[in-house]
Amino acid sequence: MDKILRIDVGAAGGPKATEVPVGEYAGLGGRALTSAIVSREVPPLCHPLGADNKLVIAPGLLSGTTGAMSGRISVGCKSPLTGGIKESNSGGQPSQVLARLGYAAIVLEGQPKGDDLYKVVINKSGVKITADNSLKMLPNYDLIEKMKKEYGDKVSCISIGPAGEMKLSAASIAFTDMEQRPARHAGRGGVGAVMGSKQIKVIVLDDTGMGMRAAKDPEKFREANKRFVEGLRKHPVTGQGLPAYGTNVLTNIVNEVGGYPTYNFKQGRFDGASKISGETEAETETKRGGLATHGCHRGCVIQCSGVYNDKDGHYLTKQPEYETVWAHGGNCGISDLDAIAKLDFLDDNYGLDTIEMGATIGVAMEAGLAKFGDAQAAINLVNEVGKGTYLGRILGNGAAVTAKVFGVERAPVVKGQAMPAYDPRAIQGIGVTYATSPMGADHTAGYAVAQNVLKVGGDVNALKPEGQIELSRNLQIATAAIDSTGMCLFIAFAVLDQPETFQALLDMLNTFYGLNLTGDGVTDLGKKVLKMERDFNARAGFTAQHDRLPQFFKTEQFAPHNVTFQVKDEDLDKVFNW
Ligand code: SF4
């Protein structure tokens, strides 16, 4: 991974690829690399869909190795949804393949001339870019079938659906999984719209003939990886809960503690929770011949995913995650798991962020466009987006835009991005992360649910403001570092809870690269990433006033605990004081 592939989509005669040495970005991977490139090369005040924005796609530091869990990929740009810096990451096969092809990153830059749509094919012989207008407005699943016919059943793909081509702010970028399904997405922040603005429909990756990346000390790397995997297997969350029920194991847990946002963040418990829980989902999948335990890429040992079949036993979608089940389920008052799975498929197929779309439909229901609980109406609304009707284009620009257009005050967004599946009044630590993350409302940026609810890695009272600032700060720092390794964030449960598993991760990095990284070094990396991101946002015009939750979280009591968000503004301003 010593080179960067830069594709100038505005070059004379059509997009032009150039390979350049990694240079000043050496030693960075994943989020650290995407945020470094965006922060140094993108003018913060540029239009996110214009010539000056860049889309950076980067595997992690350990991607393409035999290291377990190392297949996450980061996508960075200036976000059309938030107007700030964005890193959105995904599972799937492309991270491993891109790393084995030797690329630290792909950077799409410039502005296309004309309206041709392009595909990029990368293999060990080089890069080929061709105009292919037969791909225009193809949904992701049809597109990937076409790519399989053309390039075979070994390639992996990075693509956008119609939502990306329409440059909607909720558009995602899809990454194919082990079965070549476009079911893994960098969903957040409208990264798909930026890829659409560069008029690149799909990047096909073929690593035939390329070997695994070799460690500096292969023997010690193998041994560290073994300890790392043992640590993941013995922890109750990564060894049992996530493999058995996936992330949707959280539905019953978060509902029970009264932090499950229901009917567009009106109350903390949903009557229909048991019908859409991880337990019900896993049972349904197994009964129909799907899978309740499955990995999104080779080398995943936690395997939090699965395969969801329809009533006739045919593939419908990958196992919808907790956030998706919540967004299209409880948040919209929907307790029909098949309808939720259908919505997950539609989002993946059109190339849309499931969290943003679920939150948007919740807002649309509050506006009276449909009734809470009406699953068919929700499906119809997502289809409006896929068809690109005027209503669909409003919805496809997310919860904040939809709330504005339809006069809804209660928009659950921070920096324009919709909140995920944890109410910040009943789980105050996650509220601090939502408010202050440079990404906008993002649970993965500092997952305080672990200490507030699951009591993993510490114990902080979820209903009280005390201790939440420090908790969110430490988690945001650790997350920024983990997001740079290419490791799935779910390793954090074991790594933060078991010092020997954290040490194993350090040993993997050190033996692979010949480094002497310590725990303090990891903390420094996390701080460096956050500092770059916050600096970009400051130059883009963000102030402390943007690090706030919407007013209704401070004034509306949230049942069953009848609490409001209690963390003071002046304390939110201390999150990044280290
Ligand atoms: S634990 Fe889940 S999200 Fe993480 S790599 Fe495995 S399947 Fe993908």
How much is the pLDDT for 457?
Answer: 86
Characterize 295-334 residue by residue with b for buried, 16 or more Cβ atoms within 10 angstroms of its Cβ, and e for exposed. bbbebbbbbbbbbbbeeeeebbbbbbbbbbbbbbbbbbbb
* Residue segments in the chain with a per-residue pLDDT below the cut of 50: none
Q: CA 64, 69, 72 angle in degrees (round to 5)?
A: 65
242 CA: nearest ligand 1 atom: 1
Phi–psi pair at 533, nearest 5 degrees: -70, -40
Element (H, E) at 151: helix 140-151
Q: What single-letter DSSP state applies at residue 146?
A: H
Q: Which residue's C-alpha comes closest to atom 8 of ligand 1?
A: 296
Q: Is the CB of 436 under 6 A from ligand 1?
A: no
Q: How many CB atoms lie within 10 A of CB 537?
A: 24
Q: Is the CB of 304 under 6 A from ligand 1?
A: yes
Phi–psi pair at 433, nearest 5 degrees: -65, -45
How much is the pLDDT for 444?
Answer: 95
Nearest to 85 by CA among 485, 543, 430, 532: 532
Give the span between the Cα atoms of 397 and 380, in whole angstroms. 16
Query: Which pair of tokens denotes residue 539?
Result: 């130059």
pTM above 0.85, yes or no: yes
Q: Is the CB of 303 under 6 A from ligand 1?
A: yes
SS3 392: helix
How much is the pLDDT for 486?
Answer: 83
How much is the pLDDT for 16?
Answer: 98
How much is the pLDDT for 477?
Answer: 97
Give the span between the Cα atoms of 92 and 138, in whole angstroms. 20
Residue carrying the six token digits 């109410």? 423
How much is the pLDDT for 331?
Answer: 98
pLDDT one-digit tens code per residue, 178-198: 999 999 999 999 999 999 999
Strands 103-109 and 3-8: parallel
Task: Give burial (CB, 10 Å; 0-12/13-18/19+) of 14.
Answer: middle
How much is the pLDDT for 489?
Answer: 87
Q: Is the CB of 293 under 6 A from ligand 1?
A: no
How much is the pLDDT for 494?
Answer: 93
How much is the pLDDT for 216?
Answer: 96
